[in-house]
Homo-oligomer: A and B are copies of this chain.
Amino acid sequence: MSDYRKDLGKIIKDEKRIITDHIPNVYLSDKLGRKEGNATAVVLAKTTEEVSGIMKYAYENRIPVTPRGAGTNLVGSTVPDHGGIILDVSGMNRIEEFDEDTLSVTVQPGVLLKDVQSYVEERGLFYPPDPGEKESSIGGNISTNAGGMRAVKYGVTRDFVRALEVVTADGRVLTVGSKNVKDTTGLSLKNLFIGSEGTLVIVTKAVLRLVAKPETQVSVIIPYPDLRTGIESVLTLLRADLNPVAVEFMERKVVALGEEFSGVSYPRPDAGSYILLSFDGNRDAVDASVRKASDIAKETGAIDFVVLNDKEKSGEIWTVRGALVNAVEAVSEQEPLDIVVPIDRTADFVEYVNSLEEKTGVRLISFGHAGDGNVHLCVVRGDRDEKEWEEVLDRVLTELYSEVHKMGGLISGEHGLGLSKRKYFFNETDGNAVDLMNQLKEALDPRHILNDKKSYIR
């Protein structure tokens, strides 16, 4: 047994949870599996003490550490591209406390989103964040400040984290935040750590904020003659006091792909675009919102207004929306983007994308969260070989992100930067902001061992 393995064994006292030979490929990449790193060890941690022990050891010996949860990220965040230790916390997957009195649930980082959602709903409460990937872990959701469809009404993961237990790069354990609702005691370390993509600390526990479970939930689909009319109606919807949970937009040509993939039909195939809305809350409030939405639909030129009263039909409609990326992937490999623009620029942006598609001959498919200006864009590979694809993709992304920047938008609204978007982030971001982020990294991890050279780190 090597000295290295022996050292790790002093911290993790269970042989089976240390892998140093023949590391399975699944640990070396992310969900897309396109980039691959290498590592000298995988450690499957079960406790905060183990995470702290590994970090102390790694810090002392200047060994890079790549933290890992469910590994569902799309930007290479879990690719161990500097070697060293892969620190997998997916086995820390207990729900530790359900606290109805403070409306909170305390979970370990490896608990999956879908399990948190169903656990609290069975007990009469509700965890609103709803990123598309339900098999993602809560630790990962926190590290990327994951968004999702319900953000229009409820906000994103950041808005539902009451407290975190974290381990620093040098192995210190501390709790930031608390079960209290308000907090003005010094710097908000919690808010700095949320969304830091595993570059500052490793999350070992989270206290999540819950809300009352909505009495009812209703979805509505509004077909519009064309894309611009549809998207522009969203501004009117948002300025009215309707409080929608989700506001999605889809072009008809994209829905057609989804219909073909899933076998489900959308109403009004003569539409040019659809706005898909949902509302939740008490029945009277929801009914009032639906009535008002119907008035706005008429005023803004909709060709129909379909309330999805049938639970099954409503489920199908949302399933098609949720599976659009899969529908695209059934045709070809694609690069999934998560661009965000100010809400009033969404229509301009999608029209720009259509013109870029025409100009470059690269197929671009867009849909997404109209209520947030958050556009999911699939750049479709088609039958390009590896070298051509790399070159074409880089050219399209460079042009696209530069235009996004001009529109006041951002490179990423949900997936994070990881390895894939660093280059474009540096292109489009004020150097002073990047400097400050790197000064903070330097302050908290001066040896640069924790997920280094990812995200904002130069």
CB neighbours (8 Å) of A61 from chain B are none
Identify the stretch in A257-265, A307-315, A335-343 within 8 Å (CB) of chain B at 4 or more residues.
A335-343
CB neighbours (8 Å) of A371 from chain B are 181
Taken residue by residue from 411 to 449, chain A's Cβ proximity to chain B (1 for < 8 Å, 0 otherwise) reads as: 111111100010001000110111111011111100000
The answer, among B288, B374, B413, B414, for a CB contact under 8 Å with A283, is B288
Q: Is the CB of A181 within 8 A of B437?
A: no
A414 to B342 alpha-carbon distance, docked (Å): 31
CB neighbours (8 Å) of A173 from chain B are 432
The answer, among B182, B187, B195, B199, for a CB contact under 8 Å with A374, is B182
A282 to B282 alpha-carbon distance, docked (Å): 12
Segment 224-270 of A: residues with Cβ below 8 Å from B:
235, 238-243
CB neighbours (8 Å) of A214 from chain B are 241
Q: Is the CB of A410 within 8 A of B183?
A: yes
Q: Does A175 make an interface contact (CB < 8 A)?
A: yes
Q: Does A306 make an interface contact (CB < 8 A)?
A: no
The answer, among B158, B238, B282, for a CB contact under 8 Å with A285, is B282
Q: Does A172 make an interface contact (CB < 8 A)?
A: yes
Q: Does A409 make an interface contact (CB < 8 A)?
A: yes
CB neighbours (8 Å) of A101 from chain B are 235, 342-344
A41 to B131 alpha-carbon distance, docked (Å): 52
Which residue of chain B lies nearest to A187 when distances are taken between CB atoms in the complex?
Answer: B437
A71 to B285 alpha-carbon distance, docked (Å): 41
Which residue of chain B lies nearest to A287 when distances are taken between CB atoms in the complex?
Answer: B284
Q: Does A212 make an interface contact (CB < 8 A)?
A: yes
On whether A187 and B417 interact (CB within 8 A), knowing A284-B285, A285-B288, A408-B179, the answer reads: no
Q: Is the CB of B342 within 8 A of A102?
A: yes
On whether A456 and B413 interact (CB within 8 A), knowing A285-B285, A439-B443, the answer reads: no
Identify the stretch in A31-39, A82-90, A143-151 within 8 Å (CB) of chain B at 4 or more residues.
A143-151
Q: Is the CB of B340 within 8 A of A183?
A: yes
On whether A410 and B178 interact (CB within 8 A), knowing A184-B415, A243-B281, A343-B101, the answer reads: yes
From A199, A409, A416, A436, residue with most partner B Cβ within 10 Å: A436
CB neighbours (8 Å) of A212 from chain B are 238-243
Q: Is the CB of B144 within 8 A of A184?
A: yes
Q: Is the CB of A192 within 8 A of B192?
A: yes
Q: Does A159 make an interface contact (CB < 8 A)?
A: yes
Told that A175-B430, A188-B191 touch, could you supply 10 new A-B pairs with CB distance under 8 A? A168-B432, A172-B432, A174-B433, A175-B433, A180-B341, A187-B440, A189-B433, A213-B241, A215-B241, A284-B284
What are 22 residue pairs bridging A and B, where the CB atoms are less than 8 Å apart in the complex?
A100-B239, A103-B238, A124-B239, A125-B239, A145-B188, A176-B433, A178-B409, A180-B341, A180-B410, A181-B372, A182-B374, A182-B413, A183-B412, A184-B413, A185-B425, A186-B437, A191-B191, A212-B240, A282-B288, A285-B285, A440-B443, A440-B444
